[in-house]
Amino acid sequence: MTTANVYNQRPGSGVKAEQPLFHADLASLAGKGRADAGVILRDKKLLGHLTLRGDAKDPAFAGGVHKATGLELPGALALVANGETSLQWMGPDEWLLIVPSGEEFAAEQRLREALAGLHIAVVNVSGGQSVIELKGPKVREVLMKSTSYDVHPSNFPVGKAVGTVFAKSQLVIRRTGEETWELLVRRSFSDYWWLWLQDASAEYGFAVEA
C-alpha cells in the first residue's frame, strides 16, 4: 500500500499571496477602457490547479473522478466546467483540474479518497501557472494574430482546449464560451503575455475587468 504525503500548500492568512500580474495593478485599470471594447481581459488569479494522472480506460478511475469533482472525464482536446471548476484533458493519461481559490487541498483529498487503491498521481501545480480570460467580439482576431493554430469555430468549438505556440511561446488556449476564451499560462511568462495582449488588442479596443 502506498501512502502519499498530502498537505495544504496554500499560505495561511498571515502570508501575502500575489498573483503573477500583481505589479500591473489591474484593479486600478478596471473600467477605464473603451465602453465598446472588442477585447476584455480578466485575470483569474490564484485559482487552484491540480494535475491528475490515471487510466482513462478504467471505469473505476472515471467514476472516482466524477464522484470527487462532479465532472465527467473529458476526452482528447476537451474540457468540461461547472462555474469556476473545470477539468481539462492534457494527454492520454493526464488531466488538469482547476478549482476556486483555496479549494485545491480539499479537492486533492476528495480525489485521493475516491481513487484509493488505483494507480494515480495528483500534484498541486497552483504556484506555477495562471489563467487569463479574454472575452468580446474581437478576441478571435487577436488569437489569429498570436497563433498559427486554426481558431475558426468549425475547428475550435466551445469546450475545446489546445496546447500551442502563442506569441513565440507556449500556452494552452481554452474556449469556454461563444466569445470567451482562456489562456492557461506559465507564471513566469505572465508579464510577457500581458504586454503582448495589450498591443495585439489595441486596434479593437482593450479593457480590463476586475
CATH number at residue 37: 3.30.1360.120
pLDDT at res. 1: 43
| pLDDT at residue 210 in the model | 82
Please state the domain count of the chain: 1
pLDDT value of position 182: 98
Residue 121 included in any domain: yes
Q: Write down the pTM of the prediction.
A: 0.91
pLDDT means per 10 residues in the chain (210 residues)? 60 70 81 87 95 98 98 98 97 97 96 97 95 97 97 98 96 98 95 94 94
Is 150 part of any domain? yes
Q: Could you list the residue range(s) of the whole structural domain that residue 187 is in?
A: 22-208
Is there a domain that residue 129 lies in? yes
Closest listed residue to residue 126, CA positions, set 23, 15, 45 = 45
Whether 99 is in a domain gets the answer yes
> What is the Cα–Cα distance from 92 to 89, expressed in whole angstroms?
8
Total count of residues recorded for the chain = 210
Residue 192, domain member (yes or no): yes
3 assigned to some structural domain: no
Cβ(130)–Cβ(43) below 8 Å: yes
> What is the separation of C-alpha 49 from the centre of its chain, rounded to a whole number of angstroms?
8
Q: Does any domain span residue 1?
A: no
pLDDT of residue 2: 52
Query: What was the pLDDT predicted at 3?
Result: 55
Query: What is the reported pLDDT for 26?
Result: 81
With respect to residue 6, please indicate whether it lies within any of the assigned structural domains. Answer: no
Please list the alpha-helical segments (H only) found in 58-204. Answer: 59-69, 104-114, 139-146, 190-201
